[in-house]
Amino acid sequence: MTEFVRTQDSNFQGLFNFDYSPNYHGWQDLRMHYIDEGPSDGPVMLLLHGMPTWSFLYRDIVPVLVSAGYRCIAPDHMGFGRSDKPTDIHWYTIARHTEILSSLIVALNLTRVTLVCQDWGGPIGLSQASMMPERFDHLVIMNTWLHHDDFEYSDALKLWNSNWQKNGIFDVEKPDLAKLLARDFDGNIQTIISNFSEDTGSADSDAEQEIYRGFAAPYLGLPDQGFNGFRRFPLSIPLSEEFYLNGNAVAQSLHYKNLMDWTQRPGKGCNFIWGGSDMAFPELQGREWAAKMEAPFHVIPDAGHFLQNSHGQTVAKVILEHQGSKGATE
């Protein structure tokens, strides 16, 4: 039996722009949370978060897509949001996250899916399109990556990884990353590290306080082991062979190659939306990837890594504009 902790429901009451009923998918002895909004027979948008966020990241996007007639499904990876949080840090692997998401897609029998993915939602989500292409029609790729031999990891990502290792800035009890999301430091890793290491408080303005509360909610009242889900993600970046297995590097490489001809397949579409000030995944990397896939590329110059958090309505608008995109380049 997997040892886990579960966040109390009261933490999620009255969150800013996120008044959705919870839904749960059982996987072994655990439950995965997801929101399911919009018409049950509408075309599906599968919205995937990364680290250290949860489905709350899409609070400004879901209403726009639902109003346009889409069914929005936004799951929380295990260890995040309202999903269960196994306490053993070694339980968390990218292969396991991928397997659990696959089981949700099959259980809900999702078809004609538009995948919207960012950060770790990319490796976990794009693998689904690679493995089950018959279920996916369109890919929306945002500030993410798939590991492959030619991928050059940015200095910012290397710094991020190193500071989650022993004696790094984030190697502390119950690391509070919600304050970083409340202030939206645009993916500037140096700024994030300096602000985390200083006692800057949780938030300043009323809006920041609401966002802080939303991102802090999954971990309030939990023991330190409840934070292991997002601790594990930075240590899964396959920067070297030390992290290859946990990061599912070989599988990522295969999925990357398999998806290169996506826009050439009948009925398949793809577009990229990129936060232009992200230092972890620079704009040039996104542009080059989009060019290889012959997919449109849209940059939001003043958006950072968490573009859904800071520019949600703009992201939603671009998603809708590019439904059915088959390879024109902006």
pTM of the predicted model over 0.85: yes
> For 168-188, how does the pLDDT look when each residue is reduced to its tens digit (9 = 90+)?
999 999 999 998 888 755 556
For helices 121-131 and 249-258, what crossing angle results, to 10°?
60
Following DSSP, what letter does each residue of 291-303 receive, concatenated? HHTT--EEEETT-
Output the pLDDT for position 328.
Answer: 37
Report strand pairing: 113-118 vs 44-48: parallel
Quote the tokens at residue 66: 């639902």
Q: How far apart are CA 3 and CA 273, in angstroms?
A: 38
Region of poorest pLDDT, from 173-182, 307-316, 320-329 = 320-329
Region of poorest pLDDT, from 53-67, 114-128, 155-169 = 155-169
Identify whether the C-beta of residue 81 lies closer than 8 Å to the C-beta of residue 57: no
Does residue 298 register a pLDDT over 70?
yes
Instruction: Tell me the backbone φ, ψ of residue 306, rounded to 5 degrees.
Output: -95, 65
Quote the tokens at residue 68: 């346009």
Please state the CATH superfamily assignment of the domain spanning residues 4-321 in this structure: Alpha/Beta hydrolase fold, catalytic domain (3.40.50.1820)
Q: Which residue intervals of the chain are DSSP H helices?
A: 62-67, 94-107, 121-131, 155-162, 178-183, 189-197, 206-216, 228-232, 249-258, 283-292, 307-310, 312-321
Output the pLDDT for position 97.
Answer: 98
